[in-house]
Structure 1
Amino acid sequence: MTTTFSAMDRRGWMSLLASADEARLTELWQGYGADPACELLRAPEAGGVMVRGRMGGTGAPFNLGEMTVTRCALSLQDGTVGHGYVQGRSKVSAEIAAKIDALMQTGAADALSAAVLTPLAEEKQKAEDDRAAKAAATKVEFFTMVRGED
């Protein structure tokens, strides 16, 4: 499965970057090779957010709990602004995510997508498939046999 991201898929790449492993994201970013000059609008900072949920996706919202998030905002030299929000306290991941967000809004989107986002998306999909296969292997089918007692 190959995944490609376009400028229309900002929600998709932001979601992918938000949960990416710091070591893997850093490795792919360094492999991309271009680290653009930028001005930090908001230096990476950690904070907490309240996670809300809904029963069945449609019920009344309720507070599920708190989660630590790190955010960063920056501006490239051409004025393009990028934002990064990642789970946990990784300031490095938040800054890389903000740079990727900014670059994905420029002409570098195709090369960056191929070098960083597509491998992350494929690895995430493989992990989800492996988890689903492991869960399916433990599935138990319950049924009732007719015993003929009427």
Structure 2
Amino acid sequence: MKDFTRDETADRKAWMGLLARSDAADVLALWDQADLATDHQWLRAPEVGGVMVRGRAGATGAAFNLGEMTVTRCALKLADGRVGHAMVQGRDKRKAEVAALCDALMQGAEADAVRDAILTPLADMAQARRAARAARAAATKVDFFTMVRGE
């Protein structure tokens, strides 16, 4: 098993988060276009379950249980021994499988190909969604002004 440095752990956290937050249709379409399919064996086949989501009032208060969320998780091992994990929101087992495959491939020589074919386009799509959401919010902005009265 590979020991990850602090930077590698942060990088892995970033790509796994990006895959988990991305729309399943986008992830699967990019995966199919990339033609990166590889043989693997399941360590844990995709399974659907639930997790408790916790929150904090004002981000500083005491933690409380906000509610439950459905997730799908899996773990797989490539022929060369690399292991990939994934946990994604919802019940999409194929998205979890592709995310785990991306995780495993990012730990080897295929990392640049996965980054170019899948992760960079997903990051661009996420940025475009954020910009569109910000533009919609900016369109509703009301500028209040005060007039100085002469007395």
Could you tell me which residue of structure 1 aligns to residue 20 of structure 2? Answer: 18
Could you tell me which residue of structure 1 aligns to residue 125 of structure 2? Answer: 123
Say which SS state the counterpart of residue 28 (structure 1) adopts: helix
Unaligned runs of 5+ residues in structure 2 are: 1-6
Task: List aligned pairs for 1:1-150, cutoff 5 A.
Answer: 7=8, 9-145=11-147
Higher relative CO (Cα under 8 Å, sequence separation at least 6) belongs to: 1
With 6-15 and 64-73 compared, the bigger mean Cα shift is at 6-15
Cα distance in structure 2, aligned partners of 1:15 and 1:57: 21
- TM-score with structure 1 setting the length: 0.88
Cα distance in structure 2, aligned partners of 1:138 and 1:91: 39
Cα distance in structure 2, aligned partners of 1:70 and 1:54: 25
Identity level (%): 61
Cα distance in structure 1, aligned partners of 2:137 and 2:118: 29
Cα distance in structure 2, aligned partners of 1:131 and 1:31: 28
The alpha carbon displacement at 1:145 in A equals 4.7
Q: 1:30 to 1:99 in 2, by over 3 A?
A: same
The alpha carbon displacement at 1:64 in A equals 1.4
Say if 1:7 and 1:104, in contact at 8 Å, map to a contact too.
no
How many equivalent pairs are there? 144
Cα distance in structure 1, aligned partners of 2:115 and 2:62: 37
The alpha carbon displacement at 1:57 in A equals 2.6
Letter aligned with residue 21 of structure 2: S
Unaligned runs of 5+ residues in structure 1 are: 1-5
Letter aligned with residue 118 of structure 2: V
Deviations 1:20-76 (A, max 9, x none): 212111110011112111010000011111111123333321211111100010000
Q: CA RMSD in A?
A: 1.8
